[in-house]
């Protein structure tokens, strides 16, 4: 049988309004009264009707998260973090998969689920600035990732250039000098791969080393097969690097497979650094050194941004769009250090 506010009020000997104040965490309830009502809640097993609560505020209680690839472990792990954080704010998360296609990202951003969701967290790949200039949806939009936009929406990312430089500096400190970059897409200058490529170039330049195009292996996508293909093409071209910095862990793992098949040892012959710190990289035959973005902070900032917009508050105070940064760290493992 469903327990109501009235049942709790009768058990605690207080008014329904007092129970409502406790459930909604209003500050003016005294500690003694709060404890008395909470005891009745615990004894009866009362659970608030969150759907009804959101509907009374004219909301659905749902936030959408749209990512390019749910099958990509990075986005799967990020989605898990977003779901956990949203639950803390009493929101449910609706997951959308865009495939990284511009038309789908436009469809999502322009509110084809507008009657279902209160806000949208979007990680775009192909979306352009002009696609959002005419957006007239009331649902708050928060952008994730490293695409560079000049738009009136909160944007959450790590510093990809700095992260890439950290990865390359690690390889340089190990005495590597022919460091290849796998995963560039030369057709789109604002994508994350471009920023990581920029960091690769900058750190090599700072070390007094060239960054020839012969060390850059573009990919058509960002999974294991793309990494394997890029590594094969690089080696077939006659270039044998002594290190690889990959756009992401999936590309790095695919590249390591090819290196092993072609008789090159990791890290003795070729050291490898990935990006994303996915679970798979921690349990391979050779564990993967990688850049680890703070996915929990990214999720927390994203959900909090949506909730603040819904409540009409800012964090920090203000209503303008914000560029919010999450941290990252280099995780050193066997693909650069060898077995310890």
Q: What is the pTM of this model?
A: 0.80
The pLDDT tens digits of the residues spanning 87-97 come to: 988 899 999 99
Order of strands, edge to edge, in the sheet holding 289-293?
Answer: 216-218, 179-184, 243-246, 271-275, 289-293, 328-331
Residue 177's pLDDT band (cuts 50, 70, 90): very high
> Which range has highest mean pLDDT (21-35, 55-69, 109-123, 216-230)?
216-230
pLDDT at 49: 59
The dihedrals phi and psi of 187, each to the nearest 5 degrees, come to -85, -15
Q: pLDDT tens across 35-53, in order?
A: 888 888 888 887 765 555 5
User: Does the pLDDT value for residue 230 go beyond 70?
Assistant: yes
> Is pLDDT at 116 greater than 90 in this prediction?
no
pLDDT digits (tens, 9 = 90+) for 323-340: 899 999 999 999 999 987
CATH C-level class of 56-158+295-326:
alpha beta
The pLDDT mean for the chain works out to 87
Q: Is the model's pLDDT at 186 over the cut of 50? A: yes
Rg of the chain, C-alpha, whole Å: 24
95, burial (CB in 10 Å: exposed 0-12, middle 13-18, buried 19+): middle
Which range in 47-61, 131-145, 210-224 is most confidently predicted, on average pLDDT? 210-224
Where do you find CATH 1.10.260.40 in the chain? 5-45
Task: Say if residue 316 is preceded by a cis peptide, omega within 30 of 0.
Answer: yes
Per residue in 53-86, pLDDT (tens digit) is 554 555 688 999 999 998 899 999 999 999 999 9
**Which pLDDT score is estimated for 74?**
94
Contact (CB, 8 A) for 64 and 121: yes
Q: Could you tell me where in the chain the CATH 3.40.50.2300 domains are found?
A: 56-158+295-326, 160-293
Residue 247 CA, distance from chain mean position: 15
Q: Position of tokens 């092993």?
A: 260
- Residue 51: the pLDDT is 52
Orientation angle between helical segments 5-12 and 16-23, nearest 10 degrees: 110
pLDDT of 190 strictly over 90: no
Q: What is the mean pLDDT of residues 229-249?
A: 97
Q: Is the domain covering 160-293 a CATH 3.40.50.2300 domain? A: yes
Residues 6+ apart with CB under 8 A from 87: none
Tell the residue number behind the tokens 């973090």, with chain if given. 81
- Give pLDDT, residue 227: 97
Which one of 1.10.260.40, 3.40.50.1440, 3.40.1550.10, 3.40.1280.10 gives the CATH number of domain 5-45? 1.10.260.40
The pair of structure tokens assigned to 204 is 């090599």
pLDDT at 246 over 80: yes
Among the residue ranges 132-136, 301-305, 332-336, the one predicted with the least confidence is 132-136
| SS3 readout for the chain | CCCCHHHHHHHHCCCHHHHHHHHCCCCCCCHHHHHHHHHHHHHHCCCCCHHHHHHHCCCCCEEEEEECCCCCHHHHHHHHHHHHHHHHCCCEEEEEECCCCHHHHHHHHCCCCCCCCCEEEECCCCCCHHHHHCCCCCCCEEEECCCCCCCCCEEEECCHHHHHHHHHHHHHHCCCCCEEEEEECCCCCCCHHHHHHHHHHHHHHHCCCCCCHHHEEECCCCCHHHHHHHHHHHHHCCCCCCEEEECCHHHHHHHHHHHHHCCCCCCCCCEEEEECCCHHHHCCCCCCEEEEECHHHHHHHHHHHHHHHHHCCCCCCCCCCCEEECCEEEECCHHHHCCC
107 or 187, which is more confident: 107
């Amino acid at each position: 049988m469903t327990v109501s506010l009235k049942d709790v009020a009768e058990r605690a000997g207080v008014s329904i309004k007092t129970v409502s104040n406790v459930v909604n965490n209003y500050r003016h309830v005294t500690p003694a009264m709060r404890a008395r009502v909470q005891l009745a809640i615990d004894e009866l097993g009362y659970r608030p009707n969150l759907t009804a609560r959101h509907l009374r505020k004219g909301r659905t209680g749902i936030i959408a998260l749209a990512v390019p690839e749910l099958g990509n472990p990075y986005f799967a792990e990020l989605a898990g973090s977003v779901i956990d954080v949203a639950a803390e704010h009493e929101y449910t998360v609706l997951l959308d998969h865009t495939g990284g296609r511009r038309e789908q990202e436009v469809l999502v951003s322009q509110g084809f689920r507008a009657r279902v969701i209160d806000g949208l967290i979007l990680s775009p790949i192909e979306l352009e600035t002009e696609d959002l200039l005419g957006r007239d949806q009331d649902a708050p939009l928060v952008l994730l990732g490293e695409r560079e936009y000049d738009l009136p929406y909160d944007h959450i990312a790590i510093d990809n250039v700095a992260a890439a430089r950290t990865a390359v500096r690690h390889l340089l400190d190990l005495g590597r000098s022919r460091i290849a970059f796998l995963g560039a897409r030369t057709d789109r200058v604002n994508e994350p791969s471009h920023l990581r490529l920029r960091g690769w170039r900058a750190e090599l330049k700072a070390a007094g080393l060239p960054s020839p195009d012969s060390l850059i292996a573009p990919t058509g996508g960002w999974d294991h097969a793309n990494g394997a293909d890029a590594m094969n093409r690089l080696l077939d071209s006659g270039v044998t690097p002594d290190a690889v910095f990959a756009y992401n862990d999936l590309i790095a793992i695919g590249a390591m497979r090819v290196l092993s098949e072609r008789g090159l040892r990791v890290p003795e012959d070729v050291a490898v650094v990935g990006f994303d710190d996915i679970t798979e990289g921690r349990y391979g035959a050779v564990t993967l050194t990688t850049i680890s973005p703070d996915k929990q902070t990214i999720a927390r900032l994203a959900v909090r941004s949506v909730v603040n917009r819904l409540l009409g508050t800012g964090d920090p105070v203000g209503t303008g769009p914000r560029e919010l940064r999450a941290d990252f760290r280099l995780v050193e493992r066997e693909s650069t250090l060898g077995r310890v």
